[in-house]
Amino acid sequence: MKVGIIGAGGWGTALAIQASLNNDVTLWVFSEEESETIIKNERENVLYLPNVKIPEKIKITTEIKDVCSSEILIFAIPSKYFRSIVQKFSNYIEKRHIIVSVTKGLEYPSEKRMSQILHEETRCRNIAVISGPSHAEEVARNTPTTIVVASNKNKVAEAVQKSISTEYLRLYRHNDIVGVELAGAFKNVVAIAAGMLRGFGLGDNTMAALITRGLAEIRRIGIKMGGKLETFAGLAGIGDLIVTCISKHSRNGRTGEMLAKGMKLDEILSSTKMVAEGVETARIIPLIECKYNIELPISNMIYEVLYQNLAPEVGLRSLMKRPLKHEYL
């Protein structure tokens, strides 16, 4: 199978490495400068995956036509730029293609999922998403990882599952594309809160409470927006939430840690080229709360810290001072 990976960030590069074990892989990079940097550094993505060798068999290109000669196209693009990049490819994507999003975010302010953008901007209807507990740093180094591929068409999910799965990366099929995408997007907001806990030196009790109550919020949002309850108990739900909250690799977690140290959002964003998707997704929280009339205290606190200058320590303390109530899951 020919697989094209669109986007040479950490996750795109890691998937290219795994996919190359079973397929002919082309990795599309945004600019010649980016391409030359990777190749000149002895085929190493020094910014996103230092000390990981990119196999010689992976073709690196800036040409859209080259990558679109593949049968499966995987978009690994930050949500903020997802639609504009898909538009660049739209005239080259055919009905025969299988197109996949691995982006864990939503478009602001439309609240659109990435699969919806693929549906709107291309004529292809063989659409799937990949999500689950997976840090690029570990996937690229062959750490055993299990994730899900979701599609409304089982044959599409099956094709992606067979082509991308390796002895190190195991894909399960799923048919709840809505729930899988929403779980992947909103867990990043909770992960910022997890980073804040670490930044303040809080303990395991606090982290366990955050993960559990964070999952309740994610599930609340997901069901209201069309996801299935059982999805949030699986790899794309609790699995991804756990790994993102506890891992040292989490970009969202690092953002939370920097907030706890007193840095403002502008300072954090200017200090790194890596994208913390939870920052963008948090902008949608007030819209979701109002539209669906649901309580999202943790997510709303993160929104206020990021965009309304709420002090992180005040935000965390406010969660413990909320009115006592029954445990609503």
Catalytic residue annotation: 187
Contact 291, 109 (CB under 8 A): no
What dihedral do alpha carbons 156, 63, 78, 184 form, nearest 10°?
20
User: Within a 10 A sphere around the Cβ of 40, how many other Cβ atoms?
Assistant: 10
Structure tokens at 284: 């949608």
DSSP state of 32: H
β-sheet with 24-28: strand ranges across = 59-61, 24-28, 2-6, 72-75, 98-101, 127-131, 145-151, 169-174
Dihedrals phi, psi of 5, to nearest 5 degrees: -110, 125
Question: How far is residue 16 from each of residues 82, 109, 151, 301, measured CA to CA in Å?
Answer: 19, 31, 21, 37
d(CA 111, CA 221): 12
308: buried, middle or exposed (CB in 10 Å: 19+, 13-18, 0-12)? exposed
Contact 54, 45 (CB under 8 A): yes
